[in-house]
Structure 1
Amino acid sequence: MEIKIDDLTGKEIIELIGEHLQGMSLNSPPESIHALDLDNLKKTEITFWSVWEEGQLAGCGALKELNKKHGELKSMRTSSNHLRKGVARKLLHHIIEEAKQRGYLTISLETGSMEAFMPARKLYESFEFRYCKPFADYQEDPNSVFMEKELSHFYME
């Protein structure tokens, strides 16, 4: 699998973001959807990656800088043709390592509380994300859960 920064202009990634947004609307009420559209994913505070396997788009994810010490995981999605192949696990590891390189102390996320989001929550739990209160501009919402991971930094002297 190859992970690369994506400019969000390719046909495949545009379709996957559309699939992501559609999935959110099928599983969440409109007021509880926090997924970003293409224009918002192109903002300067967001780095967006795509995952490719043998020339096929396998997944995507993004890291939004909330401040110099805090990042937010956004738009994690695995293509339906690549489910259960480790795409999300590999990408999440990549994004966490990037957050550490940037010097972030915490990486946070919002995801749905419904059953459809259970696989995502299990993935985040396996990476030692812990449930927390809303962060940034989020508000308490029965349709959302909030998670965070404290990042450890090891420095060689």
Structure 2
Amino acid sequence: MQIQSLDPHSPAAMSLLAQSDAYMASLYPAESNHLTDPDALAQPQVRFIGVWLAEWLAACGAVIVKDDPDGPYGEIKRIFVQPQFRGRGLSKAVMQDLESHLKAQGIELVRLETGVHQPEALKLYETLGYDRRAPFGNYAEDPLSVFMEKRLSA
């Protein structure tokens, strides 16, 4: 397993993001999908990574550094593992890398939005110490969304 920064416009990344988009569209209506596009993932305040298993791009994830009146935080986005590679701990490895990236920048708070129809994701985030919270940033209440956050220790 090799984790490295990923160009969101690369063919491998575009393919993985398209699979993620299709999966999310199968679970939620458009108004409940908050997907970050490749142009947004290419911005300097974003770390977008991929997990390679040999020549296969098996998983991806991103963290966007944001600021609000309470201070800076990282927002986790685009965590996705190809179905044939699930159950190998890849999403946990992605999350740990993204959290380490935030800690290295001195950012101690990480937030995310996920959906109610993704029990595996909810279990992962809870296992990693994320707690449910109210909507944040530009998100509104949505019965299909779950908002979570975690304090990172220094």
TM-score > 0.5, shorter chain as reference: yes
**Aligned amino acid, residue 62 of structure 1:** A
Structure 2: runs of 5 or more not aligned: none
- Can you list the C-alpha shifts for 1:14-49, whole angstroms capped at 9, x where unaligned? 111001111111101111110112222222322100
Residue 131 of structure 1 is matched in structure 2 by: 132
- Structure 1 segments (4+ residues) deviating >2 Å: none
User: Separation in 2 of the partners of 1:139 and 1:10?
Assistant: 32
Structure 1: runs of 5 or more not aligned: none
5 Å matches for 1:82-93? Answer: 82-93=85-96
Verify the 8 A CA contact 1:131 1:148 in the aligned structure 2.
yes
Q: TM-score of the superposition, structure 2-length normalised?
A: 0.93
User: Separation in 1 of the partners of 2:55 and 2:132?
Assistant: 36
Once the two structures are aligned, what percentage of the paired residues are identical?
A: 32
How much has 1:10 moved relative to structure 2? 2.3
How much has 1:111 moved relative to structure 2? 0.3
Secondary structure class of the residue paired with 2:19: helix
**Aligned amino acid, residue 14 of structure 1:** M
The CA RMSD over aligned residues, in Å, is 1.2
Alignment length (residue pairs):
151
User: Separation in 2 of the partners of 1:28 and 1:57?
Assistant: 25
User: Separation in 1 of the partners of 2:47 and 2:100?
Assistant: 13
User: Separation in 2 of the partners of 1:20 and 1:37?
Assistant: 11
Counterpart of 1:95 (choices 94, 98, 121) is 98
How much has 1:84 moved relative to structure 2? 0.6
Q: TM-score of the superposition, structure 1-length normalised?
A: 0.92
User: Separation in 1 of the partners of 2:41 and 2:24?
Assistant: 16
User: Separation in 1 of the partners of 2:53 and 2:126?
Assistant: 25
Verify the 8 A CA contact 2:75 2:110 in the aligned structure 1.
yes
Secondary structure class of the residue paired with 1:109: strand
Secondary structure class of the residue paired with 2:35: coil
How much has 1:97 moved relative to structure 2? 1.0
- Can you list the C-alpha shifts for 1:74-133, whole angstroms capped at 9, x where unaligned? 00001122111111111111111111111112100000112xx11001000010000001
